[in-house]
Amino acid sequence: MTQNILMSIDASMVDWARAQFAITAIYHWLFVPLTLGLALIMGIIETIYYRTGNVFWKDAAKFWQKLFGINFAMGVATGIILEFEFGTNWSNYSWFVGDIFGAPLAIEGIVAFFMESTFVAVMFFGWKKVSKGFHLAATWLTGLGATFSAWWILVANSWMQYPVGCEFNPDTMRNEMTSFADVAFSPFAVDKFCHTVTSAWIIGALFTVAVSAWYLLKNRERQLALQSIKVAAIVGLVSSLLAAVTGDHSAYTVAKVQPMKLAAMEALYDGSEGQSLTAIAWVNPFEQPQYEEGGEPPLHIGIPHMLAFMATHDFNGFVPGVNDIIRGGYVNAQGEMEPSLGEKMRKGRVAIEALGEYRKLKAELKGEPTARQKAALDEKASVIGDNMKYFGYGYIKDAEQTVPFIPLCFYTFRIMVGLGCLFILFFAVTLFFFYKKDITKIKWWKWTAIILLPLGYIASESGWLVAEFGRQPWTIQDMLPTWIGVSNLSSNAVMLTFFIFLVLFTILLAVEISILCKQIKKGPEYSK
């Protein structure tokens, strides 16, 4: 059975809840990378002012900080709506993740946000009130606060992809944290943080270069533009290279813990040893491919052995395809024989049945359990624990449900990587032109710089689409599918708020772009 994305958009609660979460997250992610990226740029520029004492750099820092402030103000609280959605649309999920989500989000809110807010005030209000050194520290701490925030949100998201450091409690129906360090520093979280932050730095660099290029096109603010291009292009080149390295490591981690996501990203139906990396292939963008038939997509151009190396760090390593993961019977990244989907479904059903029986036994208790009752409860709890790893598979009825929508994963991955490579080239060329030519006279470069800014956002959002669509159908990998995590609400309610958000966020975005453009047109204020 194939999925046709255009025909299967139905009014079910799950689809609208997913769409609403997606639109909220996508809009939120328009503001966050520029905050993180511009924080780095303005920190570097103010550091140059601190070291040189040249008031030009102070004026430059103040200009970029103003643009940072606009974006920061527009983006503030856009993420809170995601938390509202957890409690309303995703209530089973929200309860099930218990303290795992609560702790990182609490730390994010209390520590990181207050850190940002405090030092943002010093940054904007303190130029004439505090010493140069203190002001510089405040600027860096503002950026650090924002980055610290990102860490905790990404820890929460990483746990969804790779649930570690926890144990399920059948009494509270919650996953309870057994190791804070395992959650906070899981390899998935570390990879995700590094890759996300470096990609945000690219956005900051692209933004700075685009604004500067616009000034050069208009033949104004020449010195600001040139010096900002120099700083931003260096930041951009280093960030792009780091994003490539961290992206590669992310793929390695994904291969270990989310092999189906990797298979979807590659449109890999039947894996092999020494698997090639797909550079391009034709995958119908609107329909789930017939992966059950095996083979590879038409017009396939692969880079030999590269996927094997990315996934296993061995040019001849085995990378499972969609069908291999469904069939099982291969040695997985943990060195164990991968169970078949059928086996996982069986274990999941065992866990759910044991949970039902456990809760029934508990409900029948009158006071303290007898020794026999306690033994029965312990036995059920043990069965739940032994099979919890595949709990979510107990809800799966068909193999198709475990396969993400391959075309979207496939193309967004290529968009992200392709643009990432383009950015490396662009920043390298920019630096070459800056040092070896007269960049002010190269018109095609200026227009390229401007066009690359929206492409940077497309690359950034594509990365999140890969990450989140590739994890489907799981809200928590292998433990809770979307249709179980979702609340029993009418889809009409969710549909209404979906369109409210669409309008609200579009207005917010339009307001931000308008204020940003006005300030950019106004230009920096130079000290006398």
Partner 1 sequence: MRKKGFIYRVFDLYYDGFKHMTLGRTLWAVILVKLFIMFVILKLFFFPNFIKQNAPEGQEAEFVGQQLVDRSGE
SS3 167: strand
Spatial neighbors of 182 by CB under 8 A, at least 6 apart, are 164, 165
CA 196 to CA 190: how far, in whole Å? 10
Question: Which residue, 258, 266, 340, is CA-closest to 308?
Answer: 266
CA 155 to CA 142: how far, in whole Å? 20
CA 352 to CA 159: how far, in whole Å? 21
We find the least distance from the C-beta atom of residue 523 to partner 1, in angstroms, to be: 13
- Exactly one of 50, 185, 395, 434 binds partner 1 (CB under 8 A); which one? 395
- Exactly one of 39, 325, 484, 520 binds partner 1 (CB under 8 A); which one? 484
Asked whether the bond before 304 is cis by omega within 30 degrees of 0, the reply is: no
Q: Which is nearer to partner 1, 47 or 92 (CB)?
A: 92
CA 501 to CA 489: how far, in whole Å? 18
341 sits near partner 1 (criterion: CB under 8 A): no
| Single-letter residue type at 415 | I
Question: Which residue, 505, 506, 485, 501, is CA-closest to 88?
Answer: 485
- Exactly one of 226, 350, 431, 493 binds partner 1 (CB under 8 A); which one? 493
Question: Which residue, 329, 340, 303, 333, is CA-closest to 318?
Answer: 333
State the SS3 of 349-375: HHHHHHHHHHHHHHHHCCCCCCHHHHH
CA 402 to CA 322: how far, in whole Å? 9
Which DSSP category does 395 fall into? G
401 sits near partner 1 (criterion: CB under 8 A): no
Q: Which is nearer to partner 1, 104 or 394 (CB)?
A: 394
We find the least distance from the C-beta atom of residue 251 to partner 1, in angstroms, to be: 33
Question: Which residue, 269, 39, 33, is CA-closest to 141?
Answer: 39
CA 526 to CA 528: how far, in whole Å? 6
Q: Which is nearer to partner 1, 277 or 476 (CB)?
A: 476
Q: Which is nearer to partner 1, 3 or 92 (CB)?
A: 92
Question: Which residue, 61, 79, 71, 214, is CA-closest to 514?
Answer: 71
Candidates 150-158, 211-219, 421-429, 497-505 — which segment interacts with partner 1 by CB under 8 A?
Answer: 497-505
Contact code string over 290-329 relative to partner 1, x by CB under 8 A:
----------------------------------------
Q: Which is nearer to partner 1, 170 or 259 (CB)?
A: 170
CA 508 to CA 53: how far, in whole Å? 38
How many residues at the interface with partner 1, by CB under 8 A? 53
Q: Within 10 A of 330 (CB to CB), how many other CB atoms are there?
A: 14
489 sits near partner 1 (criterion: CB under 8 A): yes
Contact code string over 140-179 relative to partner 1, x by CB under 8 A:
------------------------------xxxxx-----
We find the least distance from the C-beta atom of residue 102 to partner 1, in angstroms, to be: 14
We find the least distance from the C-beta atom of residue 18 to partner 1, in angstroms, to be: 16
Q: Which is nearer to partner 1, 283 or 399 (CB)?
A: 399
SS3 176: strand
Residues 51-110 that bind partner 1 (CB under 8 A): 66, 69-70, 73-74, 76-77, 80-81, 84-85, 87-89, 91-92, 94-96
We find the least distance from the C-beta atom of residue 142 to partner 1, in angstroms, to be: 14
Candidates 119-127, 235-243, 412-420, 466-474 — which segment interacts with partner 1 by CB under 8 A?
Answer: 119-127
Contact (CB, 8 A) for 287 and 3: yes
Q: Which is nearer to partner 1, 92 or 272 (CB)?
A: 92
Interacting residue ranges for partner 1, rule: CB under 8 A: 66, 69-70, 73-74, 76-77, 80-81, 84-85, 87-89, 91-92, 94-96, 121-122, 124-126, 129-130, 170-174, 349, 352, 355-356, 359, 363, 394-395, 483-484, 487-489, 493, 496-497, 500, 504, 508, 511, 515, 519
